[in-house]
């Protein structure tokens, strides 16, 4: 049977991580693009060095350069303020990071080739054109006002900074029509678990081979 690959996406602060945890608790391998993106810019990595060379001291974390610490360590908040307020700089950073993330996905999918189900948690799934990696796409959905408030609360951002981050992604309204499954996160995390269970069961049934004729 072909591997079932669930592409898990949404908007920033829409609730993807909560759904990812629910799926991991059910024993499913969850490949997280955000984790791979952080690894691509880890202290001492070629990606971090490229960022530091482009932006200089303004993106190097305070204290970076202490004895024994790999260089450079990045101030991610400072980097975010640059790229989320300049579309050209955001494109540059994506062109640096996205190929590294795709390499990690390829390696992990090869490692997990025998797993019946794999979850690919990719915030920019549609924006990056990665739907082809998935057999189905789950969108974690909420109202745009909820998304804005959750982002401000989670990351301690001003409204202007939060809106800049939201503007860097497709709006949820654009993604809804493209998803196989829409998980409604307007009511909070406790309402997600039964939706996740139902989507898993429905997909398992649709993926099952047809019974032989009598």
Considering 111, 141, 166, which residue would you say is the last residue of a domain?
111
Q: Is 29 exposed, middle or buried (0-12, 13-18, 19+ CB in 10 A)?
A: middle
CA distance 18 to 7: 14
What residues contact residue 208 under an 8 Å CB cut-off, 6+ apart? none
- Give yes or no: residues 121 and 23 share one domain: yes
Shared domain for 154 and 80, answered yes or no, is no
Do both 137 and 79 map to the same domain?
Answer: no
Q: What is the helix (H) or strand (E) element at residue 166, kind and residue range?
A: helix 159-167
- Whether 214 is covered by a domain: the verdict is no
Task: Count Cβ neighbours within 10 Å for each residue of 115-135 and write b for 16 or more, e otherwise.
Answer: eebbbbbbbbbbbeebbebbb
> Has residue 3 been placed in a domain?
yes
In-domain check, residue 195: yes
Is residue 128 within 8 A of residue 7, CB to CB? The reply is: no
| pLDDT tens figures, 93-129 | 999 999 999 999 999 999 999 999 999 999 999 999 9
pLDDT tens digits, 140-176: 999 999 999 999 999 999 999 999 999 999 999 999 9
Q: Looking at the 3D structure of the chain, how many domains does it have?
A: 2
- Residue ranges making up the domain that contains 70: 35-111
Q: What is the pLDDT of residues 34-75, one digit of tens each?
A: 999 999 999 989 999 999 999 999 999 875 554 455 567 999
Whether 7 and 137 have beta carbons less than 8 Å apart is answered as yes
Query: With a threshold of 0.85, does the pTM exceed it?
Result: yes
Indicate if 202 and 126 belong to the same structural domain: yes
């Amino acid at each position: 049977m072909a591997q079932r690959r669930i592409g898990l996406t949404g908007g920033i602060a829409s609730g993807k991580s909560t759904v990812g945890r629910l799926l991991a608790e059910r024993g499913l391998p969850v490949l997280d693009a955000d984790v791979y993106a952080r690894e691509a810019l880890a202290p001492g990595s070629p990606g971090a060095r490229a960022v530091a060379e482009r932006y200089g001291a303004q993106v190097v974390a305070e204290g970076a350069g202490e004895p024994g610490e790999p260089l450079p360590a990045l101030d991610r908040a400072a980097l975010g303020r640059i790229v989320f307020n300049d579309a050209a700089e955001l494109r540059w950073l994506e062109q640096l990071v996205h190929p590294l993330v795709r390499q990690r996905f390829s390696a992990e999918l090869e490692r997990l080739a025998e797993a019946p189900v794999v979850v690919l948690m990719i915030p920019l799934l549609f924006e990056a054109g990665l739907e082809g990696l998935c057999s189905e796409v789950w969108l974690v959905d909420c109202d745009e006002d909820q998304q804005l408030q959750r982002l401000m609360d989670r990351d301690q951002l001003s409204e202007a900074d939060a809106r800049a981050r939201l503007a860097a992604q497709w709006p949820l309204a654009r993604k809804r029509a493209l998803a196989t499954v829409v998980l409604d996160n307007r009511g909070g995390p406790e309402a997600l678990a039964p939706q996740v269970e139902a989507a898993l069961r429905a997909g398992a049934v649709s993926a099952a081979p047809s019974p032989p004729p009598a």
